[in-house]
Amino acid sequence: MGYSLHIERENNPIAIEEWKKAVSEVSIARIQEAENIAVNPSTREKIQILVNEGDVEVLFKVKGLKKLFGQKASWKPSISFFDGKAFFIATEDIENNANPVHQVAAALAKKLNAVVRGDEGEEYKW
């Protein structure tokens, strides 16, 4: 398993209602409603991954080929919510301000008076 970052508060867990309200205020984030379904390319078997209440999808925008086809956008499951905190994978470019998950995590931490913290306890000042 990769390294994770967390959106959390020191002594005050984030209530699910408070979390959902904050997510609804971030334009490139939304509460994930449906399960994740993937297809194994070798066997064609469908794999279903259940979501927790409060899990978040983030909108990723990708420019089309040579700007001929405009922008493509897709919602991707990105942030999990469980037991008063949120978790997301620390990708290689997570500290880049242009990363949509970075943008959403920073906005949510600010709205919730929380911090972004790594698995080892270090705090990220976004």
- Cβ(104)–Cβ(94) under 8 Å? no
- The conformation of residue 1, written as its DSSP 8-state character, comes to -
pLDDT tens figures, 37-64: 888 889 999 888 788 999 999 999 876 6
Q: How far is CA 48 from the centre of its chain?
A: 19
pLDDT tens figures, 1-35: 589 999 999 999 999 999 999 999 999 999 998 77
**Token code pair at residue 90:** 């620390």
Question: How far apart (Å, rounded) are the C-alpha atoms in residues 24 and 30?
Answer: 6
Helix ranges (DSSP H) in the chain: 16-24, 100-111
Number of domains in the chain: 1
Sign of dihedral through CA atoms 49, 2, 108, 72? Answer: negative
Q: Which domain holds residue 62?
A: 4-124
pLDDT at 84 over 80: yes
